[in-house]
Amino acid sequence: MTEKCDKCDREFDSERGLNVHKAQKHKKETENDSPSVEEVVDENQDNTVMLDASPNKIELDIKQTALVTGSMGLLIGLVFSIGLLTGLLVGTSMSGPVALDSGNFQDIGEGSESGGETGAAGAEGAEDSEIGELEEIPYDVEFGTGTENVEWDGETVELVDRPYMGSSDAPVTMVSYEDYFCPFCTGFHNSDFADENNMNSAFGDIAENHIETGEVQYYFKNFPVVGGDRPAEVSECFAEHGSSEDFWTFNHNHFQNFEELQEMQQTDPSSYDEVMYSWAEELDITGNGFESCIEDSEHSSTVHEDAQEGERLGASSTPTNFVEGEMIEGAVAYTSFEAVINDKIN
């Protein structure tokens, strides 16, 4: 049974897809900016994202009926003026995470709207940004694309043609579900950002001790819950039109420039897109196919299929990693990953 959008008549094969489409395409006029990283990380008291007690992740308690109850609808209506993120994630009780409809992994804020005009004006905006040339990936690793899927707890994890980092015959497969605009995902990958915000940053140690050594084959999948739909879609365009190494270069540099890119996407989406085009040029990814991939959100369905897959595996927060199917939630210390990886090898 298909679901049809009452605004544009586009058909979807699930209610989830319809909800995501409405959240992305028909709410921009009523949505305000997403919170700054300072609000998410530092103001975990009265009016921001509820965080796990660790605190090392953004956690969303998944329930089917939360967004359709009359009381939540009234609450959202009252707080639209101060931002959709606050309206969705501040509950009547602050004792735990606010429940979101499991069929509604949606962009909160303006992160998923496609940018405006491209060309010379946009390129000038990219040049004026604080983002410089692409950094090389700081790890001595191999790159490739997956050749077979895996099955964990009866759920298939799609890895065929997905870019990976690590050895083709690594004994351990690790899959991470993340949001490019999640501060804890950023801390997981960006040690400087983690140090500044009192977070754990485990990925560097994982890369050096397990990926470089051929023990772990590492995959990244999209789980946009706090506004990262746009970069998730862009990442898929890099994967489609570039090499596996190009994808990981995008991934690394996006987390290294998290704050600038998040603000750019919120305030001037067209300039964000132009930075992406300039990165593609640096990587010799050229042609209209790449630009139209971004402009037309061609991988929107891919992104939300990733989110559905992660949810089926049990993910409800970002970042969530699976090491041979064993779930590790949050940007926890490296020792937590080390213990699980060594256990899977042995």
Backbone region of residue 324 per phi and psi (left: phi > 0; alpha: psi in -120 to 50; beta: other values) = left
Both tokens of residue 297? 């959100």
Asked: is 120-345 a CATH 3.40.30.10 domain? The reply is yes
Which stretches of the chain drop beneath a pLDDT of 50? Answer: 17, 20-21, 23-24, 27-53, 61-128
User: So what's the pLDDT on residue 15?
Assistant: 63
| C-alpha distances out from residue 287 to 64, 250, 280, 300, Å | 43, 18, 10, 20
Cβ proximity of 58 and 49 under 8 Å: yes
> What SS3 class is residue 51?
strand
Contacts 24+ apart (CB under 8 A), 123-132: 123/274, 123/277, 123/278, 125/268, 125/270, 125/271, 125/274, 126/271, 126/274, 126/275, 126/277, 126/278, 127/278, 129/260, 129/264, 129/271, 129/275, 130/260, 131/257, 131/260, 131/261, 131/275
Instruction: Classify strands 155-157 and 150-152 as parallel, antiparallel or unpaired.
Output: antiparallel
pTM here is: 0.69
> Any idea where the domains of the chain sit in the sequence?
3-100, 120-345
Q: What is the per-residue pLDDT for 2?
A: 62
DSSP 8-state code for residue 146 = -
The number of beta carbons lying within 10 Å of the beta carbon of residue 142 is 16
Amino acid at 164: Y
What's the length of the chain?
Answer: 346
CA distances from 65 to 18, 100, 146, 309 (A): 16, 8, 37, 20
Number of Cβ atoms within 10 Å of the Cβ of 36: 16
Closest by Cα among 103, 112, 101, 107 to 73:
101
Q: What are phi and psi of 49, to 5 degrees?
A: -60, 135
Residues 33 and 83: their CA atoms lie apart, in Å, by: 6
Give the pLDDT of residue 346: 86
